Structure 1
């Protein structure tokens, strides 16, 4: 295959626009690089010299090893870039040092994360999810987008912009809360709480009908706005897979549970539409050339959220720590947009690390780790909507644990910058064959 300077496959049927874009060919989605190459984003997260301080210290063991090995940051950047290119990666993915992208012989794309919604949530510290109904939300997002997205707006190497990372949309591994109950439990003056009550009031003709489902201690809509905490009357399973069937069965058996689920799903869909519309329009207002590649869903959200993402995003991104990504890819592909796996990994128990904290499956050996990568990527590329996959991460985590305690064998290299040969040899082979595998993907049947 002939390739462009970005690593895309030369395709006479595609033309370059000077920036990355998306295209669909015979029912299969692709990225198109600035020179018109048929492109899949093959990336590695956290490619950085200063990766992972040991928790509660200033020590960065990877930086210590690389300073001794390379002598300087710039020498490390060049070596890291050339090594990634030799493994046939073409993207310096999330949380990486963007200087790596142009430090080697091969140009690499970048995919920065701008944390627009998270910056507003932190601005309002009583929120778990940003209050999209707050009158200041839109202005804050527009200002943040101007500050964070203007610098790279003419950069051909910017593949696309991530809005946020792993926002809390619904019940998942982090907790049983629904977004609706989180908004109902905001302080009484917060616009999000008022909006949530208003939507429920519009749906239920009488407060007694609402309370027959929700079973709150309140006796009126006014009192609902004042009580300290609204407890969910039911706890739902996280969306996806067998859980959806179990939820359907439970709802059929209990009309009140079904009504509660409908309330939650309707509300989160409205929030998602507002969030994506505001964030995408704010980014596009200052950077019309580049793709907006989603908010890196950490766990599969309700269908209404995926549908809203599909209406506004250029590419839907999600993290998927499973052996088989197929079912989760199918769930996101239902929106009809290209999909990017923004994080996945496998940990080997023979690496000498605890592997006690961190996402994703554990396997016994580095050979099994390489095989898991091969099965995962082959399965992903067989899906017509997939346009890339980003491995987490570049170097192993400290044995003592990083800031959040993670201490796992996620790296393509050890913390001493020694290469995992079995894994990277397999990565090189799969990355080189990725376009051929993806071209054979069967178009989705709608």
Structure 2
């Protein structure tokens, strides 16, 4: 659908119209990104083996990879999806009768972190970080710079920003416990020294035995004096109460929040700059937050990104969307899903809610997407994922009913019919978002 007051630029961009954010396609049409992740023939090896049961089934069913691509592309379009999401075979996007958009991931920060095995979060203060991401962005983005089908580029996926399901560490304590020569540790101590001035004032909060800032830099392991809950509405209220009762805890929290905001600002500034240098034509669509991080991190993302992306495995995404929409930027839900316990899979490991039946699964999709589209900042939603996971578990043990199809490529009829229905109505629902929010 082409609106008279929107113009095509040859590439996807974002626009706000009547208080509602939209993507604008290369020809000037309003666009909501309705995507599916991990659309690939070789999805999910069984952990510890080379077996890919989905590929085995599709090889028998379709005969070859190209026939599978065509069939899957046509099928996604028939369900009114228009985007092939993360970790997908991008050739699927151009194989059917309708061109689908692509949304690849560069994993800039993650690739540097893996290069530095002592890091849980990439050391953004390291000069080699900037050198690494410039080269990586050039290798991964430059060849796409003239691609009109590219929706935008994700920077990373689910980096560790603050306490979450993976642990209780703060970014500040992670950086304080890097090896003493690492730039990130030096930056963390310098920031604390600038704030406290005297080591005694620092120790009153952090309870270390260091007698000088130099000695603090030599301590092998600095233990956090407090453990905070992961961010979120209920936990934030509990943390506020705890801070009011203990000034030292409040000071510790402020230290952690301030440092995370500095790290986030540097991370997003450098990564977006690297991608834009390699590909100035396309959107940078976020780092797929795995869990709602601290407000300073969200604010930093909003300052640098074209689109803020996040994964949200709740029944109602509304409160999480509101937290990210505070940036004033458009938002993309880069992962969500529901698992049905009638699918014959263990569903013992994997994100998000479990429901009893495929009927409830379809209803959960409808409720979630309608709620998301009622928010004016939302410009898309990507379902995780195309096919079910192996009953034996994939590389990380996940064994869940996340698919639009079974591992034998049989379509979940109730779910996909609901997807077709909601996807077809998405623009109409979203156009009424401001009125619904008042």
TM superposition score category, shorter chain reference: over 0.9
Checking the alignment, whether the CA contact within 8 Å between 1:27 and 1:444 is kept in structure 2 is no
- Secondary structure, counterpart of 2:408 in structure 1: coil
Is 1:385 matched with 2:377?
yes
Counterparts of residues 424-443 of structure 1 (less than 5 Å) = 424-442=416-434
Instruction: For 2:22 and 2:411, locate their aligned partners in 1 and report how far apart those are by CA, in whole Å.
Output: 30
Match of residue 141 from structure 1: 133
Q: CA deviation at 1:338?
A: 0.3
Checking the alignment, whether the CA contact within 8 Å between 1:384 and 1:443 is kept in structure 2 is no
Match of residue 342 from structure 2: 350
- Secondary structure, counterpart of 2:23 in structure 1: strand
Q: CA deviation at 1:139?
A: 1.1
Instruction: For 2:343 and 2:217, locate their aligned partners in 1 and report how far apart those are by CA, in whole Å.
Output: 54
Is 1:320 matched with 2:320?
no
- Secondary structure, counterpart of 1:151 in structure 2: helix
Instruction: For 2:119 and 2:367, locate their aligned partners in 1 and report how far apart those are by CA, in whole Å.
Output: 39
Instruction: For 1:137 and 1:404, locate their aligned partners in 2 and report how far apart those are by CA, in whole Å.
Output: 27
Match of residue 170 from structure 1: 162
1:27 to 19, 28, 34: 19
Query: Tell me, which stretches of 5 or more residues in structure 2 are unaligned?
Result: none
Checking the alignment, whether the CA contact within 8 Å between 1:213 and 1:256 is kept in structure 2 is yes
Is 1:90 matched with 2:82?
yes
- Secondary structure, counterpart of 1:340 in structure 2: strand
Is 1:365 matched with 2:357?
yes
- Secondary structure, counterpart of 2:144 in structure 1: coil
Q: CA deviation at 1:123?
A: 1.1
Instruction: For 2:437 and 2:84, locate their aligned partners in 1 and report how far apart those are by CA, in whole Å.
Output: 33
Match of residue 3 from structure 1: none
- Secondary structure, counterpart of 1:249 in structure 2: helix
Instruction: For 1:383 and 1:219, locate their aligned partners in 2 and report how far apart those are by CA, in whole Å.
Output: 52
Checking the alignment, whether the CA contact within 8 Å between 2:375 and 2:437 is kept in structure 1 is no
Match of residue 220 from structure 2: 228
1:71-128 CA distance string (max 9 Å, x none)? 0100000000000000000000000000000000000000000000111111111000
Counterparts of residues 215-294 of structure 1 (less than 5 Å) = 215-294=207-286
Match of residue 341 from structure 1: 333
Instruction: For 2:88 and 2:4, locate their aligned partners in 1 and report how far apart those are by CA, in whole Å.
Output: 33
Q: CA deviation at 1:10?
A: 2.2
1:116-157 CA distance string (max 9 Å, x none)? 011111111100000001111111111111111011110000
Instruction: For 1:314 and 1:206, locate their aligned partners in 2 and report how far apart those are by CA, in whole Å.
Output: 41
Q: CA deviation at 1:443?
A: 6.9
Q: CA deviation at 1:218?
A: 1.7
2:50 to 52, 58, 72: 58
TM-score (norm 1): 0.97
- Secondary structure, counterpart of 2:434 in structure 1: coil
Match of residue 39 from structure 1: 31
Q: 1:249 to 1:234 in 2, by over 3 A?
A: same
Match of residue 60 from structure 2: 68
Q: CA deviation at 1:444?
A: 10
- Secondary structure, counterpart of 1:442 in structure 2: helix
Instruction: For 1:269 and 1:203, locate their aligned partners in 2 and report how far apart those are by CA, in whole Å.
Output: 15
Match of residue 122 from structure 1: 114
Q: CA deviation at 1:274?
A: 0.3
Instruction: For 1:181 and 1:389, locate their aligned partners in 2 and report how far apart those are by CA, in whole Å.
Output: 34
2:40 to 48, 55, 80: 48
TM-score (norm 2): 0.99
Matched positions, count: 438
Checking the alignment, whether the CA contact within 8 Å between 2:36 and 2:383 is kept in structure 1 is yes
